[in-house]
């Protein structure tokens, strides 16, 4: 949806959440691309969508809850990877 030129602007956190749910079912590269574009263009809606995903991820045996759980896990994995890269780059700078 974000890739096309004629897409209407996103107006709700649920729109953003649905895009994340769609993207997370595809390749990790596609998910990262969509997440990055959302973070740039709609940072507040993205934050709100993540908060909704956190709540929905706690629902057992729910298809949307399962997708939200994957979204939350992927965010934590990316944050952990970025922190590790920062730590590794700092340690390589130390004489």
> Could you tell me where the DSSP H helices lie in 1-95?
13-24, 28-41, 43-56, 63-93
Give the pLDDT confidence of 49-66 residue by residue, as tens digits: 999 999 999 999 999 999
Does 80 have pLDDT greater than 80?
A: no
DSSP label at residue 24: H
- What residues contact 35, with CB distance under 8 A and at least 6 apart? 20, 23, 46
Distance CA(65)–CA(91), nearest Å, equals 39
| 68: nearest Cα among 50, 42, 83, 81 | 50
Does 7 have pLDDT greater than 90?
A: no
């Amino acid at each position: 949806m974000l890739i096309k030129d004629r897409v209407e602007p996103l107006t709700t956190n649920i729109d953003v959440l649905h895009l994340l749910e769609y993207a997370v079912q595809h390749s990790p590269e596609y998910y990262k691309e969509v997440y990055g574009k959302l973070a740039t263009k709609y940072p507040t809606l993205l934050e709100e969508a993540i908060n909704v995903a956190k709540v929905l991820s706690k629902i057992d045996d729910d298809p949307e809850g399962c997708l939200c759980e994957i979204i939350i896990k992927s965010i934590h994995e990316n944050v952990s990877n970025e922190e590790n890269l920062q730590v590794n780059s700092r340690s390589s700078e130390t004489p």
